[in-house]
Chain A
Amino acid sequence: AQSVTQLGSHVSVSEGALVLLRCNYSSSVPPYLFWYVQYPNQGLQLLLKYTSAATLVKGINGFEAEFKKSETSFHLTKPSAHMSDAAEYFCAVRPSGGSYIPTFGRGTSLIVHP
């Protein structure tokens, strides 16, 4: 069985500040890990993914995430927030073997203040 925990349903930052969205996972086999972004009234768009290559993964819009096996974490960061980053962010896990079904966290709403 696998699960995803996103710490904080809402995160508020000022424009230009560091963005840190936390994600911890559990998986019985080596996982694939993902971050998705959802803008209002839209579907989910892939930000970045970890597929067992480099542990530091760079994505679109200046976001990156680091896979830390010892901490079972995959936190999302961006050095400087923009107003356009305001959205809902979802962390997801999918085992690389056995079950292939992606499991999603409950989401974190990022609020960016001017």
Chain B
Amino acid sequence: NAGVTQTPKFQVLKTGQSMTLQCAQDMNHNSMYWYRQDPGMGLRLIYYSASEGTTDKGEVPNGYNVSRLNKREFSLRLESAAPSQTSVYFCASSEVRAGFLITSPEAFFGQGTRLTVV
């Protein structure tokens, strides 16, 4: 039972470098999310995808891009990393069905990626 899988688990980047964080879920969820976690700030939404082929900005999208490659995969790209992007990044997915009550509306999380930009 893999759930949500994120890679890599750890990464150190130099300022200006680029990288892509990968996320895949095997629960057939429509919706996927990228959050960043910083001390005292909780989880802040970077981008989300309601369904395959759609993406939207969240609370803190600047400096990031995303791709919903297919229903399973949702990647996060840092084009030119900055020290302010040092954080722990979490991918999550959830079930969404308009017009229906859902028995499992919770978000399922990956184990996170610890990113340090120096």
Q: Could you tell me which A residues sit within 8 Å of B by CB distance?
A: 9, 32, 34, 36, 42-46, 49, 51-52, 90, 92, 94, 96, 100-107
What 19 additional pairs, Cβ within 8 angstroms, besides A36-B109, A42-B112, A104-B43?
A32-B102, A32-B105, A34-B106, A43-B109, A44-B107, A49-B105, A51-B101, A51-B102, A90-B43, A92-B107, A94-B94, A96-B105, A101-B58, A102-B92, A102-B94, A102-B106, A104-B42, A105-B42, A107-B42
Given A43-B110, A43-B111, A44-B90: A106 touches B103 (CB 8 Å cut-off): no
Question: Counting CB contacts under 8 A, is B2 at the interface?
Answer: no
0 or 1 for each of B54-81: is its CB under 8 Å from A? (1 = yes):
0000100000000000000000000000
> Are A106 and B42 also in contact (CB < 8 A) when A43-B111, A52-B101 are?
yes
- Whether A49 touches B45, Cβ cut-off 8 Å, given contacts A43-B111, A106-B40, is no
B85 within 8 A of A: no
B96 at the interface (CB under 8 A from A): yes
B112 contacts A101, C-beta separation under 8 Å: no
Size range of the chain B interface in the assembly:
20 to 34
Cβ of A9: which chain B residues have Cβ within 8 Å of it? Answer: 40
A42 and B94 within 8 A (CB): no
A-B contact pairs, 18 of them (CB 8 A): A9-B40, A43-B90, A43-B111, A44-B107, A45-B109, A51-B101, A51-B102, A51-B103, A52-B101, A96-B101, A96-B105, A100-B31, A100-B50, A101-B31, A102-B92, A102-B94, A102-B107, A107-B42
* A45 CA / B101 CA spacing, docked (Å): 22
Nearest-CB distance from A36 to chain B (Å)? Answer: 8
A90 — which chain B residues lie within 8 A by C-beta?
42-43
Least CB distance, A58 to chain B, in whole angstroms:
15
CA distance A36 to B109 in the complex (A): 10
Distance of A43 Cα from B31 Cα, bound (Å):
18
Decide yes or no: A106 and B41 within 8 Å by CB, A43-B112, A100-B94 being known contacts: yes
Q: 4 closest A-B pairs (Cβ-Cβ)? A: A106-B42, A104-B43, A43-B109, A44-B109
